[in-house]
């Protein structure tokens, strides 16, 4: 008997939905494919003991979608909706001295995403490739996501990638797992996350907070018409937009304060009790987290990225003309140097080094120590190492395949249950709150299945757990 496929779409002219759902029954195998129209989407496969059971489950899934407004359609009949990407042509830096670059890795396409900690450096580019390197410039790992990487953000021990397909992937394990699915009508510009609460700024100037189960805590039309900055902390979601910076209570979305920046905000950073907004008016504007004006740092072109040292002693900026800057706390410019590899879309300072990702797709490590800068200004710069990935290194793609185990070993057992039409995860192992939800990958949830995870941790705010490490299905 040939495979039986049902293809459905939900698309509204207003833009509030634009997604598909496809169910295929082939004997006892059931395959579900879903996502944004025009994308390949996520694939989930299940097997049943009989064909009748597979068909019954398929009918149930189709019925659920039809009741939500999905309707039969022809694949390819509707086109994929466009996403907004920065279209920037870098110009030559006016700086006369090149930055003391130690090494550079060319990722292959323009890159926005950067993450740096004590152990690794990561870059994510517009083709969906994420590369992890050591500080010694060795390529360690690569992931291949379905669409362009908007940003890389860290939340305690979890690392997430936000992509142009509207999905946010957890990169903390060996395989990327779907963690959040943003509403299709939101054209993401930037993401940040704190304790499982995701902040999303969008092309229309909007701002939203989304909880650990993919549900809106709140959503607001911001005070601007576009928004490239969102930064989250324990109390607030800080939103940088075309008219300045606005701060909202993370729980309720209540506006706490609004501060003008003298120009559209193109990038944002936070460090301690300060916010730093890079603007189109050639400045980095420092604000206190109560909205107070603190300092301004003057550049020579529009600021596309900024960062600061943890103690606030140094403030860095990257402009649209392939230059990078360093200022002291008083706003005094200490130096301006040429990147040598395009304009810095994002940057991060760590251990006297400035890491930038650029318009030509490079992740570059620049020695920002006082001695190295003095040498560069005097005309002595190192020859940078050109880093290459091993020729046969696999780029691991997101997957819904889960390893099967028959014993718990030293892990924690959780179970997938259906509540109110949604699949939730609860802890089965003793010693935990059995009524608390568990933040757990979306694409691998199956009603009635039990899983073994490396561990779970209570959220800092309490009330739910977060699974971490590897996930295996328990049989």
Domain ranges of the chain: 4-72, 101-387, 403-474
Q: Does domain 4-72 have CATH number 2.20.140.10?
A: yes
Per-residue pLDDT at 159 = 95
Per-residue pLDDT at 80 = 63
Per-residue pLDDT at 195 = 95
Per-residue pLDDT at 82 = 55
What's the chain's length in residues?
A: 475
Least confident of 181-190, 282-291, 377-386: 181-190
Share of the chain above pLDDT 70, in %: 95
Reading the block at residue 120, the tokens are 């690794």
Strand spans (E) along 48-147: 71-72, 101-106, 111-116, 120-125, 129-134, 139-144
Share of the chain above pLDDT 90, in %: 68
Q: Which pLDDT band, with edges at 50, 70 and 90, does 421 fall under?
A: confident
Q: Check whether 185 has a pLDDT greater than 90.
A: no
Burial of 275 (0-12, 13-18, 19+ CB in 10 A): buried
Rg of the chain over all Cα atoms, to the nearest angstrom: 23
Task: Report yes or no: 278 and 266 within 8 Å, Cβ to Cβ.
Answer: yes
Q: For residues 176 and 131, what is the distance between their CA atoms, to the nearest angstrom?
A: 13
Per-residue pLDDT at 12 = 59
The predicted-structure confidence for 9-47, as pLDDT tens digits, reads as follows 887 554 445 788 899 998 998 898 887 787 777 788 888
Reading the block at residue 253, the tokens are 């979305």
Q: Which pLDDT band, with edges at 50, 70 and 90, does 1 fall under?
A: low
Average pLDDT of the chain is 90
Task: Report yes or no: 161 and 155 within 8 Å, Cβ to Cβ.
Answer: no
Residue 151, Cβ neighbours under 10 Å: how many?
22
Work out whether the CA dihedral 147, 152, 154, 157 comes out positive or negative.
positive
Per-residue pLDDT at 34 = 83
Tokens 């580019």 sit at which residue? 125
Q: For residues 302 and 308, what is the distance between their CA atoms, to the nearest angstrom?
A: 18
**Regarding the domain delimited by 101-387, which CATH topology (the fold level of the hierarchy) does it fall under?**
Methylamine Dehydrogenase; Chain H (2.130.10)
Least confident of 12-21, 45-54, 272-281: 12-21
Reading the block at residue 177, the tokens are 């797992």
Reading the block at residue 102, the tokens are 């130690």
Q: Check whether 263 has a pLDDT greater than 80.
A: yes
Q: Check whether 85 has a pLDDT greater than 90.
A: no
- Name beta bridge partners: 247: 238, 257
Per-residue pLDDT at 206 = 94
Q: 112-148 burial, b for 16+ CB within 10 Å, e for fewer?
A: bbbbbeeeebbbbbbbbbbbbbebebeeebbbebbbb
Per-residue pLDDT at 16 = 44
Q: Check whether 117 has a pLDDT greater than 80.
A: yes
Per-residue pLDDT at 268 = 97
**Within 13 Å and on the Cβ side, how many CA atoms surround 181?**
13
Q: Which pLDDT band, with edges at 50, 70 and 90, does 157 fall under?
A: confident
- Name beta bridge partners: 351: none
Q: Which pLDDT band, with edges at 50, 70 and 90, does 95 fall under?
A: confident
Reading the block at residue 221, the tokens are 């039309």
The predicted-structure confidence for 160-184, as pLDDT tens digits, reads as follows 999 887 889 999 888 999 999 887 7
Per-residue pLDDT at 14 = 42
How far from the centroid of its chain's Cα atoms is residue 365's Cα? Answer: 21
Q: For residues 427 and 12, what is the distance between their CA atoms, to the nearest angstrom?
A: 38
Q: Does domain 403-474 have CATH number 1.10.3470?
A: no
């Amino acid at each position: 008997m040939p495979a039986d496929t049902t293809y459905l779409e939900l698309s509204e002219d207003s833009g509030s939905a634009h997604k598909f759902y496809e169910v295929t029954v082939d004997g006892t195998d059931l395959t579900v494919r879903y996502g944004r129209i025009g994308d390949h989407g996520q694939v989930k496969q299940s097997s049943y003991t009989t064909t009748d059971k597979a068909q019954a489950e398929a009918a149930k899934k189709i019925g659920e979608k039809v009741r939500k407004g999905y309707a039969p359609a022809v694949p390819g009949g509707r086109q994929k909706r466009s996403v907004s990407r920065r279209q920037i042509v870098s110009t030559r830096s006016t700086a006369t001295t090149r930055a003391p670059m130690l090494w550079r890795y060319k990722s292959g396409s323009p890159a926005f995403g950067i993450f740096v900690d004590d152990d690794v450096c990561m870059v994510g580019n517009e083709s969906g490739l994420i590369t992890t390197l050591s500080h010694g410039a060795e390529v360690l790992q690569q992931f291949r996501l379905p669409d362009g990487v908007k940003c890389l953000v860290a939340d305690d021990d979890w690392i997430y990638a936000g992509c142009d397909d509207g999905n946010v992937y957890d990169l903390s394990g060996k395989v990327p797992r779907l963690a959040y699915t943003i509403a299709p009508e939101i054209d993401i510009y930037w993401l940040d996350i704190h304790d499982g609460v995701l902040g999303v700024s969008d092309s229309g100037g909007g701002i939203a907070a989304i909880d650990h189960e993919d549900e809106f805590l709140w959503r607001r039309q911001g005070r601007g018409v576009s928004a490239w900055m969102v930064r989250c902390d324990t109390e607030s979601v800080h939103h940088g937009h075309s008219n300045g910076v606005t701060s909202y209570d993370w729980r309720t979305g209540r506006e706490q304060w609004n501060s003008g920046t003298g120009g559209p905000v193109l990038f944002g950073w936070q460090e301690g009790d300060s916010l730093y907004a890079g603007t189109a008016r050639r400045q980095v504007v420092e604000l206190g987290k109560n909205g107070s004006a603190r300092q301004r740092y003057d550049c020579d072109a529009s600021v596309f990225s900024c960062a600061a040292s943890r103690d606030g002693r140094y403030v860095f900026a990257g402009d649209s003309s392939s230059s990078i800057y360093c200022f002291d706390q008083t706003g005094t410019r200490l130096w301006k140097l040429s990147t040598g590899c395009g304009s810095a879309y994002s940057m991060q300072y760590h251990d006297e080094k400035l890491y930038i990702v650029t318009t030509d797709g490079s992740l570059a490590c620049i020695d920002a120590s006082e001695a190295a800068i003095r040498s560069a200004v005097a005309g002595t710069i190192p020859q940078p190492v050109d880093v290459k990935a091993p020729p046969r290194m696999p780029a691991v793609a997101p997957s819904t395949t889960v390893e099967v185990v028959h014993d718990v070993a030293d892990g924690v057992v959780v179970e997938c249950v259906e509540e109110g039409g949604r699949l939730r995860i609860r802890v089965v192992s003793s010693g935990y709150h059995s009524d608390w939800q568990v933040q757990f990958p979306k694409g691998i949830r199956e009603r009635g299945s039990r899983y073994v995870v490396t561990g779970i941790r209570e959220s800092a705010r309490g009330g739910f757990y977060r699974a971490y490490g590897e996930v295996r299905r328990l049989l």
